[in-house]
A and B are shown apart, each in its own frame.
Chain A
């Protein structure tokens, strides 16, 4: 079973990402609405990969990535950032703090699946 944690404040995006992820055989989507909610889910579930938005209320995606990377229990979990920011500096910033990959909105479901699959294999 592949547990994918989708951290997004937008219900529309959570549903769309969930749609794409569920097409990967043996996958299960766990939803979180912000960084704090994501940390709760991380402590209660075994997560294999994290898909996180950058702009979120309470705790944003960048803060979440740095907390995950500094926690020995979660630091090896691959993280894919999904965001509206398309600038190279935003991308570099996310990758510098420990994100493994970066996707910009509007997302293409096949592109997302391909990326997730690359981390599974």
Chain B
């Protein structure tokens, strides 16, 4: 009997322990579910906040890169403008350099000789090679008759060139007034033929205000369609430097000739007493 009650008690104890175990397991399962739910919630939330953060981060990076691109583009535009500016300046400097080289060579050649014919040849070379004139003539003033006489020509026969009186026609007027003459429309002159008395360009050869002759140009080479700055500078140079070169070479040639005459005369005088 006592043995039976002992077994019953043990069974009860076991059942109680079992029930507590069951309740504990149920609690554990509930807790487990709750925790799993919470983990899921947290995971979802982490995932949400993570992608948003990354998007924000990317957006910031994109903005930063866009700013950087804009800044680089601005700098590129500025550099490009600067480059264009430099290129334009380079072209100007080159043109200036070309002009100075032409003027230097012209001036150097004009004053490289005291031979009158050589000076005329140099003047003609400059007009042909540096200006690009095809047909032209150089007239020099005859102080005795006050007429302009043709001294040299290119592309035209010197015999066909007229003597021009001071103040007569374009050539005479330029010689009288000492002011260069340029025809506005060069093509008109080219098509209308050549009139020796009316060149389309006429430059006075002046020493200060004294005109010693003129250069008259009738046509240019076919590849030369208009005058540039360098041509006007060359005309200015020719007006002054060609005039002094021609004048001084003429004086030198005359003095050489006189010297030879005087020397011959002196030799003759020296020889006379011997006879």
Q: B residues within 8 A CB of A87? A: 222
Measured CB to CB, the closest approach of chain A to B229, in angstroms, equals 13
Would you call A109 and B109 a contact (CB within 8 A)? no
Would you call B125 and A13 a contact (CB within 8 A)? yes
User: Given A104-B221, A105-B132, do A16 and B101 touch, yes or no (CB 8 Å)?
Assistant: yes
Which residues of chain A from 1 to 44 have a CB within 8 Å of any chain B CB?
Answer: 10-13, 15-16, 19-20
Would you call B221 and A105 a contact (CB within 8 A)? yes
Would you call A106 and B222 a contact (CB within 8 A)? no
Measured CB to CB, the closest approach of chain A to B128, in angstroms, equals 7
Give Cα distance in the complex from A106 to B230, angstroms.
11
Give Cα distance in the complex from A109 to B102, angstroms.
9
Give Cα distance in the complex from A13 to B128, angstroms.
10
Would you call B130 and A106 a contact (CB within 8 A)? yes
Q: A residues within 8 A CB of B224? A: 86, 106
Q: B residues within 8 A CB of A110? A: 94, 97-98
Would you call B122 and A12 a contact (CB within 8 A)? yes
A108 adjacent to chain B (CB < 8 Å): yes
Measured CB to CB, the closest approach of chain B to A8, in angstroms, equals 9
**How many residue pairs at the A-B interface have CB separations less than 8 Å?**
58
User: Given A12-B129, A84-B128, do A104 and B97 touch, yes or no (CB 8 Å)?
Assistant: no
User: Given A12-B122, A105-B132, A109-B101, do A86 and B94 touch, yes or no (CB 8 Å)?
Assistant: no
Q: A residues within 8 A CB of B102? A: 16
Give Cα distance in the complex from A13 to B131, angstroms.
12
Q: B residues within 8 A CB of A20? A: 101
Would you call A19 and B109 a contact (CB within 8 A)? no
Closest to A113 in B: B94
Measured CB to CB, the closest approach of chain B to A119, in angstroms, equals 20
Closest to A13 in B: B129
Query: Binding site of B, secondary structure by majority: helix, strand, loop or mixed?
Result: helix
Would you call B126 and A12 a contact (CB within 8 A)? yes
Measured CB to CB, the closest approach of chain B to A79, in angstroms, equals 19
Give Cα distance in the complex from A74 to B100, angstroms.
35
Chain B 82-126 interface mask (CB, 8 Å, partner A; 1/0): 000000000000100110011011101100100000000010011
Would you call A104 and B98 a contact (CB within 8 A)? no
Would you call A86 and B98 a contact (CB within 8 A)? no
Please report the total number of A residues contacting B with Cβ < 8 Å: 17
Would you call A15 and B108 a contact (CB within 8 A)? yes
Closest to A8 in B: B129
Contact of B223 among A15, A19, A104, A109 (CB under 8 A): A104
Measured CB to CB, the closest approach of chain B to A33, in angstroms, equals 13
Give Cα distance in the complex from A15 to B110, angstroms.
13
Closest to A104 in B: B223
Measured CB to CB, the closest approach of chain B to A59, in angstroms, equals 20
Give Cα distance in the complex from A87 to B222, angstroms.
7
Give Cα distance in the complex from A106 to B234, angstroms.
12
Give Cα distance in the complex from A106 to B101, angstroms.
13
Give Cα distance in the complex from A16 to B101, angstroms.
7
Q: A residues within 8 A CB of B112? A: 11
Give Cα distance in the complex from A108 to B97, angstroms.
10
Other 8 A-B pairs with CB < 8 A, given A10-B128, A11-B122:
A10-B125, A12-B105, A12-B106, A12-B122, A12-B125, A86-B223, A104-B221, A106-B131
Give me the 10 closest cross-chain CB pairs, A-B, nearest first. Answer: A86-B223, A106-B132, A12-B125, A86-B222, A104-B223, A110-B94, A109-B98, A16-B105, A19-B101, A15-B105
